[in-house]
Chains A and B, each alone.
Chain A
Amino acid sequence: MDNKYIKYSVEDFAQDLNFIKWVNNGIGHRDWVNFIHENPDLAKDIESAKQIVNALGYGSNDLQEGEVYESYMKIESLFAEHHKHKLTFSFKQFMKYAAFLALILSIGVAIPYLYFYRNSDKYTVIANSISTNNETRLILSGRGEILLKQKLSDIRFNAADNQIEVGNDSIISSSNLDKNAMAQVIIPYGKRSNILLSDGTKVWLNAGSKLIFPQKFSGKERKVFLKGEAYFDVFKSKETTFIVSTDKMNVSVHGTQFNVRDNDSDNELEVVLVEGSVSLKETSVMNMLSSEIKLKPNQKAVYSKTDEKTSIESNVDVAKYISWKEGLLEFDKENILSVFKKLSKFYNISFVAQSSVELNNKISGKLDLKESLQDVLKVISDVAPVSFRIEHDKVFVDTRLNYLPIL
């Protein structure tokens, strides 16, 4: 710690870059704490300077991950044209997985709105599937895109051997896993992926989600961007913080296990902590006003996008929130429509029902999603007054008339 600080006034501190970086980003925290400890007469001045730095924050404008990515894709294609970039790397092993596609300019998804007539009855969609592009996509910046057909794909960024492994046999090797390059995994409805990041962190990425991350982590922060739902088992590192950034929140950890759910279709963002400790901070709010929220194991934080408020629930049954990664769906007095929405995403099939069907019933239980959809629906029809018919790639939901409630 530079001796110059001993003579500093409030104004001097408030404009000093190291001081600013400490107040805003926590850089050099230990040094500053020690400095205050050794110079207690400066504590008040430092506190005033801190208040000034905090007051001089600007609001920021929300920028969605998708916006940056779309903008980037346009630039990258022009970049390629300009440099007549040839993608030169051995790719023969990937022929197994489908054709190699040139980078797509935008990620647009068409959601069909279906409206049926069956005799005189009208069925409307209650839970949507997504019909285009059913493969999991692994996009590597500067190298291209790979389509993965498996329902549960396995991707490993092996920093030690400098290669990216997909499944059991296919490998992309490079002379150097590029630290400056990003990677993106996009999971459609109906699929999931297990990803091992270059630092040893394991990620379970759920259907209908997207994860953007550096191919090789470097520097003081390990930052990934998530849209959708994922479970993280973060590799412990005292020197670097692992940050999961979603549109609304940043979740920071040093090494721990937790689940993050932030879907576009949800009104809430949910973080459930299994082990270790995490802190949450809103992304769009300046440091001073968004307090950091720390979670303890078995706590759940729910951030309401409409109210912009966070609430914490303790002693939650974490199994309920993370069972999806083992292919199990657990619910406790959950609205049956909400269950259909989750099944729709997992199996990538639409649910349609007549308006007369009661969808507000609450059910509890556990479904094994590794079983066929038929078997899963059978279980539901045992505990709720609904019957199912799978026809035309849709699940028709009808009221079950001979329902006897189990008392």
Chain B
Amino acid sequence: MKTDREIWENFKSGDKSALSYVYYQNFNSMFQYGMKFKDDREFIKDCIQDVFLKLIQAGEKLGPTENVRFYLFRALKNDIYKKIDKSKKNAMMEFLPFKFDAQFFLEEELAEKENTSNNEIALLKALKNLSDKQREIIYLRYDCAMEYDQICEMMQLKNDSARKLLFRAIKSLREVICDHKKEPVQFEI
């Protein structure tokens, strides 16, 4: 089983099968990640293509990497930001902080449900209270299984800040899910 580093080296030197491997392995997760910054399928697909194009053009000049997915995510985030920034400047919009506008699955489900229990209402409230930064950390940790140092690099945070943000989020959910008797409450979806 080739390591990420080996596959990356093959990719840099023009091995087409390494390209197809890297592409197919990562396209979907890059797409899911990108869509959380901007809900526009064609735009995100274009960004992914541009990322790969730039990588192909850089060829041998690319640095080495131990983690291909992380490398691609970072490149994608940069590309999306650049494009959004550019369009903002063109539209002469006020600078708005970038959003990570991803809804938790439960947020949609519970919002639409008719007979929600008190626990479910409390859970929905806890989820809604999570900040954009927390949502992004949660996505990178839970959906992308990234290590803290990678998350910190992606989000330009210090290690302890990232951990604090995540722990705070988890704690707020724990308070809803466990009642004072420390019994986990089961809720129905």
Contact = CB atoms under 8 A, between A and B. Distances in A.
Interface of A: 10-11, 14-15, 17, 20-21, 24, 44, 47-48, 51-53, 55-61, 63, 67-68, 71-72, 74-76, 78-80, 82-83, 85, 141-142, 178-182, 218-219, 285-286, 288-289
Contacts of A15: 141, 163, 166-167, 170
Nearest to A83: B14
Nearest to B32: A60
Given A52-B173, A72-B23, A181-B17, A24 B178 contact: no
Interface of B: 1-2, 7, 10, 14-21, 23-24, 27-28, 31-32, 35-36, 41, 45, 48-49, 52-53, 56-57, 59, 102-106, 108-109, 123, 127, 138-139, 141-143, 145, 147, 163, 166-167, 169-171, 173-174, 177-178, 182-184, 186, 189
B24 A48 contact: no
28 contacts: A14-B170, A15-B163, A20-B141, A20-B142, A21-B145, A48-B177, A51-B177, A51-B186, A53-B142, A56-B138, A56-B169, A57-B142, A58-B139, A59-B103, A60-B32, A61-B31, A63-B31, A68-B27, A71-B48, A72-B24, A85-B14, A142-B20, A179-B1, A180-B17, A180-B20, A181-B17, A181-B20, A218-B1
Nearest to A18: B145
B16 to A, nearest CB: 3
A288 B143 CA distance: 13
B164 to A, nearest CB: 11
B75 to A, nearest CB: 14
B104 A55 contact: yes
A57 B106 contact: yes
A47 B19 contact: no
B184 A55 contact: no
A292 to B, nearest CB: 15
A288 B56 contact: no
Q: Which of B31, B105, B178, B189 counts the most chain A CB atoms within 10 A?
A: B105
Nearest to A46: B184
Given A83-B59, A182-B20, 17 more contacts: A14-B170, A15-B166, A15-B170, A47-B184, A53-B142, A55-B127, A57-B106, A57-B142, A58-B36, A58-B102, A61-B31, A63-B28, A68-B27, A75-B19, A75-B53, A180-B10, A181-B21
Given A61-B41, A141-B16, A44 B184 contact: yes
B17 A51 contact: no
